[in-house]
Structure 1
Amino acid sequence: MFFNIPIHTALGTSTTSMVFTVLSGTASHLREGNMVIKTGLIIGGFGAIGSYTGTLVTGLLPENLLIWISASLLFLSSFLIWVRTRVVKQETSDQKVKLFWIIAPAIGLITGFLSGCFGIGSTPLIQLGLLIFLNMTLLQAAATSMLILIPVSLFGAIGFYQAGFIDWFLLVQIVAGTMTGSYIGAKFTKRASVLILRTAMILLPVFGGLLLLW
């Protein structure tokens, strides 16, 4: 919107900036004790594979199609999070515990691929997977998604770099602000009410989707 950057370069630059942003946010969440570390590392590892694979596909997609799909995924994830958070959270069943090594890799591969292919960071989709399939709380989902995004964004950045879709000068300017904002924001996650967290998880993807279409 502000720099007239082509969509592929915008996606590559934003994904690369996330490497630094999520490092800052993860450090803050770790100190606050908000995240489920083991789950985050497992999903993040598989997410890295999906993310790099996605970057190989995104260069083949035309700009208009890329914008519409990215925006649609954001709207869809927002709607599904709204539906999920209206349902009372149930205890994790023994069946879900047994299926963890199927569910966790699947969440990583799918959300990682979408992140690499469409550059949306997949944060809403990751949080949705954690809420629905692993029965995390809103606080845990918000924090653990940051840890998952470290390898996802790193391998996505590698793929976008190889494709030549990164504006390095713009990246430096973005990172200067996002690292600071992410670290400070993580301090408020534990202190925010469930209503605020839920509202933010639902409205931010919608706002991002509208910006893409605009």
Structure 2
Amino acid sequence: MYIILTMLLLGILLGFVGAGGAGFVIALLTLIFDIPIHTALGTSLAAMAFTTLSGAYSHYREGNIQLKSGLIVGALACVASFAGAKIAPFIPEGNLHYLTAGMLFLSAVFMMIKLFVLKEETEQQPLSSRQLLVRGIILGLVSGLLSGMFGIGSAPFIQVGLLILLRLSIRQAVGTTMLVIIPISIGGGIGYITEGYVDFILLIQILIGTVLGAYIGAKFTRLAPKLLLKSAVLLTPIIAGLLLLF
């Protein structure tokens, strides 16, 4: 019951900021509930497939998803995530905490640069079909591999890529990221299942809380002031990374 309630609150936050939340789930499972890191990685990544499905549907209804971009990035990310999950078991458990935390901090740095340092461009030339395909493939491969290796949805990396490479607005980036994370978590989850690192009882407990929470949280994205949304997107990976270091 404690896991379910914790994941419900977390799901509301994740739906709001458009993140799959595997990094946050990993941090809470290892720090509070003493779950082994590889099991936490695999189970949280598998759970994201359902958590983000709920949040993505809600974002789609709110008009926050750029469908074509999401499908291109997601398809490549699914394959790369499976490959990354096959690499993760070779990373020593002691190092995995720090590597995952480091990836979360790095993603926060990129997000801060884009959201608070670079000026937001109000008018940009639309991408050609070729540009969209090439940039989408690159973003999908990179974000998928990182997700599979470190058990995180790499939402901030995806959001930065969507903002800079594919020129989406902040709200479109938040919503489309939720869509992209679905195939990422499916590919990575299957990879971790084949390695024996998914606890299905724990998976159900996580899902009960996060699926409901993500659907609720997505309802607030369009209503929130842009500064609040940007701050929440930035702080989420930072807090998750700090928890992983304890």
Q: TM-score, normalised by structure 1?
A: 0.96
Instruction: Name 1:133's counterpart in structure 2.
Output: 165
Look up the equivalent residue of 1:76 and give its one-letter code: L
Distance 2:57 2:132 in 1: 26
Separation in structure 1 between the aligned mates of residue 40 and residue 143 of structure 2, nearest angstrom: 19
Q: Which residue of 2 aligns with 1:36?
A: 66
User: What's the Cα RMSD here?
Assistant: 1.3
Q: Which residue of 2 aligns with 1:52?
A: 82
Partner of 2:216: 184
Contact 2:127 / 2:166 at 8 angstroms: preserved in 1? Answer: no
Whole-Å separation in 1 of the counterparts to 2:119 and 2:165: 14
Give 1:213 shift: 0.8
Match of 2:147 in 1: 115
Distance of 1:150 and 1:174 partners within structure 2 = 16
Q: What are structure 1's unaligned runs of at least 5 residues?
A: none
Q: How many Å apart are 1:97 and its aligned residue? A: 6.1
Identity %: 45
Whether 1:146 and 2:171 are equivalent positions in the alignment is no
Paired amino acid for 2:85: T
Q: Is the CA contact 2:46–2:189 (under 8 Å) kept in the aligned structure 1? A: yes
Aligned residue pairs total 214
**Equivalent residue, structure 1, for 2:190:** 158
Q: 1:55, CA displacement in angstroms?
A: 0.4
Deviation at residue 95 of structure 1 after TM alignment: 6.7
Relative to the length of structure 2, the TM-score reads: 0.84
Between the aligned partners of 1:159 and 1:205, the Cα distance in structure 2 is: 24
Shift of residue 92 of structure 1? 3.2
Instruction: Point out where structure 2 has 5 or more consecutive residues left out of the alignment.
Output: 1-30
Distance in 1 of aligned mates of 2:57 and 2:67: 12
Q: Name the residue aligned to 1:174.
A: 206
Matched residues in 2 for 1:94 and 1:140: separation?
15
Following superposition, the deviation at residue 140 of structure 1 comes to: 0.6
Which residue does the alignment assign to 2:12?
A: none
Matches within 5 A, 1:56-67: 56-67=86-97
CA distance in 1, matches of 2:68, 2:90: 35
Tell whether the 8 Å contact from 2:84 to 2:144 is kept in structure 1 after alignment: yes
Within the candidate set 107, 110, 120, 1:89 is matched to 120
Q: Distance in 2 between matches of 1:109 and 1:92?
A: 25
